[in-house]
Structure 1
């Protein structure tokens, strides 16, 4: 120590250091627990802030881009109206899809067509308040129930009856009505298992095929009878005959519903009798969405 620390001071200092360590040993042992508690407290705080944020989607979306959508209600006799719609990606200044003025009248069926990635699903999401960036006015029909059916169906681990009745409570519907809806959707073989949450320890999400899941969504539609229905590739897992049956069931049981459907394969757009299911076509192409009567669209396709 270059004669700067005596042996007495060294021994005394070492004893004091050991005493200090012994006195603080409890703190050393609990430090990992304190760090974990602090991290968990931060996670809980972040979760609370996220819960608060999602209550204000406009403010959340505006953090990463333009959000100027206006959602209003109008007389149900006027149907659904879109005015000056522009859809953007996060951080972009120019829209990838625009639509001037679109109107969907009560009971009208509209087929949405376009290349993959053209913005068909994005438009449906924007109408339902699920698209993050853009501008425009969406006037929804007042007092009309809306149902959005997506291509990929994820089923919760609940009873089959619960799955058909969602988002309503299963107690709101008698078993017989739910059973009839399953039968009309082509799932009559599952009626005996209506109150079960699966089979052999597996949930319905694992037991049902893609086509069966889409038929289950059809059963939900037939039970809830929405007045405004969005079908986003909702029949992609069904064969041609099942697609006919899917649309015909909606025609028969929801005759006043406004239907807007995205489809890649447009071959089954006519019923078995040859009548058109759809009244109009909304073509999404080159960043524009334009709506025409189906007769005019057929003529243009033929020409």
Structure 2
């Protein structure tokens, strides 16, 4: 478990730490320069003021305690009650300051969390980063980073920042107290704290990477449980309980193994930290007790020394006293920082693509035109269609066919801009004038009205229009299930069959009426009568469309047929006509 620390690993560790600091500064600066900067800066200033005031009160309380103990030692009744009065006043002030200090801290943390979460969610959807992050090697579980890691980051960042401020104020306030008693006390406190911090870093540095792995493994476990819930029916049909059980146990074993290692390193760190803390209790007494016994210092000074030494030692031992929590915090900052940096890349994706990519996309035309567009997989390792060329005007239709894995859906992804690694020219209307119907439609939480209007929540279609479209796509039975109430909320994902969900998808199409529709196996779960009915409705609507499918019965509804073949080849022909252009012939000699 104890891995050797080589010069290379030491350099990598320093570089990672510098990167973490840079990411922290970047995230923090963005918040305090945001539209909420006035309120954020005001709360931060108030926190600093309250922190200084709290430290001052603690110093005053130390003197009140000293006078109280001295009065008791000397049996001074008048001095005793005076000290009690001063102590009571400072006690009330300390309570008020401490309560408002925590209230201000929690308010600022909540404001920061709200802004940062909204900011990351906006960037998560910007340029479809949520889609492109799927399967990312550098970012696992972005959902956890946006929710849990943001919450921990905002709360803990303020906590440690304020601990640092308080440590500085405490050091300033009690430094003079200790120096007035004995300069030796100050030197011992500084040397002892420096030694403790150094040893904690040496012993516990491995905890940062272990805590990072802990975040990932815990998130993987939660994702596995959510995946089972979302796919419960498929698992039940396959009787895949044993396989899923084995997968969850494997994920749990990874968590347990990681936690065993964390416990091991916490044990080693605990040996030192406990020894360090217990020794700190006796050090000031060893120095000041002889002064009391020889009569040079009163007994109250002894109690004040113990308290003041503890305050100074705590201030300069911030890292040593909180190393375990700091290791968890730094791991969270690293995870959030990686997401922040990667989203920066997606923010600039369109600009970078315009500068670097050979693929040109124009969103100004009313037609879909591909000119020598080579469709590639995202990793650019495989050519799916080479120099694909066709033009589809409004009111026209195209059917894409071919064997499984030939890249039929990939052509649609490239036209939609989900895949940007292609080479060539692509012209299409702007995305708001396009609509894509997948094989398995997405059912949102909400009412039937919400389902049919998705994704245009502000769709102006009235109830009569919605009911007419529902009847057209043969969903009257679904409307009857909710007794005609378009606003009734039920679990549509589990209530509707896949065929009904596909008809909901077509209803969305007819309510939105885009210029072009892209149907990716959009009727695979429908019988031929329903399929024919829907395709006839699409043709009558005047919406241009491109379909992907395997059924030969779909051919009759399309004017053009594009058949993808092996090694990037393709054949384009009009329905019931000979090929008008063959990339296979040109590229492979067939």
1:69 aligns with 2:350: no
Native 8 Å contact 2:378 2:419 kept in 1: no
Q: TM-score, normalised by structure 1?
A: 0.78
Native 8 Å contact 2:385 2:570 kept in 1: yes
1:51 aligns with 2:339: no
Q: How far did residue 101 of structure 1 move?
A: 2.2
- Of residues 188, 206, 210, the one that matches 2:498 is 210
Native 8 Å contact 1:282 1:291 kept in 2: yes
Structure-2 residue corresponding to 1:279: 559
Residue aligned with 1:178, SS: helix
Residue correspondence of structure 1 range 99-138 to structure 2 within 5 A: 99-138=387-426
Moved more, 48-57 or 109-118: 48-57
Residue correspondence of structure 1 range 231-246 to structure 2 within 5 A: 231-246=519-534
Q: How far did residue 170 of structure 1 move?
A: 4.3
Residue aligned with 2:440, SS: coil
Structure-2 residue corresponding to 1:250: 538
Residue aligned with 1:133, SS: coil
Moved more, 281-290 or 170-179: 170-179
1:292 aligns with 2:569: no
1:42 aligns with 2:362: no
Q: Which structure is higher in strand share?
A: 1
CA RMSD of aligned residues (A): 3.1
Native 8 Å contact 1:81 1:138 kept in 2: yes
- 5+ unaligned residues in a row in structure 2: which ranges? 1-191, 193-274, 282-309, 580-590
Query: Take 1:296 and 1:100, find their aligned partners in 2: how far apart are those partners?
Result: 19
Native 8 Å contact 1:144 1:228 kept in 2: no
1:88-132 C-alpha deviation (Å, 9 max, x unpaired): 235546623213421112211111110000011101110111114
1:197 aligns with 2:489: yes
Using a 3 Å threshold, how does the CA distance of structure 1 residues 249 and 29 change in structure 2: closer, same or farther? Answer: farther
Structure-2 residue corresponding to 1:154: 442
Q: Which has the larger radius of gyration?
A: 2
Native 8 Å contact 1:80 1:105 kept in 2: yes
Structure-2 residue corresponding to 1:266: 552
Query: Take 1:144 and 1:170, find their aligned partners in 2: how far apart are those partners?
Result: 14
1:172-205 C-alpha deviation (Å, 9 max, x unpaired): 332222222222111112332421231xxxx211
Q: How far did residue 74 of structure 1 move?
A: 4.3
Q: How far did residue 262 of structure 1 move?
A: 0.6
Structure-2 residue corresponding to 1:85: 373
Structure-2 residue corresponding to 1:173: 461
Query: Take 1:251 and 1:83, find their aligned partners in 2: how far apart are those partners?
Result: 25
Query: Take 2:466 and 2:277, find their aligned partners in 1: how far apart are those partners?
Result: 76
Structure-2 residue corresponding to 1:3: none
Query: Take 1:265 and 1:237, find their aligned partners in 2: how far apart are those partners?
Result: 12
- Of residues 20, 26, 31, the one that matches 2:280 is 20
Query: Take 1:137 and 1:89, find their aligned partners in 2: how far apart are those partners?
Result: 17
1:55-100 C-alpha deviation (Å, 9 max, x unpaired): 33357889xxx94321113442xx2110111122355466232134
Query: Take 1:143 and 1:265, find their aligned partners in 2: how far apart are those partners?
Result: 28
Q: How far did residue 28 of structure 1 move?
A: 6.1
Q: How far did residue 223 of structure 1 move?
A: 0.6
Moved more, 289-298 or 205-214: 289-298
Q: How far did residue 242 of structure 1 move?
A: 1.3
Query: Take 1:281 and 1:119, find their aligned partners in 2: how far apart are those partners?
Result: 15
1:21-68 C-alpha deviation (Å, 9 max, x unpaired): 886698666433322322223333233333333233357889xxx943
Q: Which structure is higher in helix share?
A: 2
Using a 3 Å threshold, how does the CA distance of structure 1 residues 170 and 197 change in structure 2: closer, same or farther? Answer: farther
Using a 3 Å threshold, how does the CA distance of structure 1 residues 204 and 82 change in structure 2: closer, same or farther? Answer: same
Using a 3 Å threshold, how does the CA distance of structure 1 residues 107 and 90 change in structure 2: closer, same or farther? Answer: closer
Residue aligned with 1:291, SS: strand
Q: TM-score, normalised by structure 2?
A: 0.42
Q: Which has the higher contact order (CA 8 A, sep 6+)?
A: 1
Query: Take 2:512 and 2:474, find their aligned partners in 1: how far apart are those partners?
Result: 17
1:263-283 C-alpha deviation (Å, 9 max, x unpaired): 1112244xxxxxx32111011
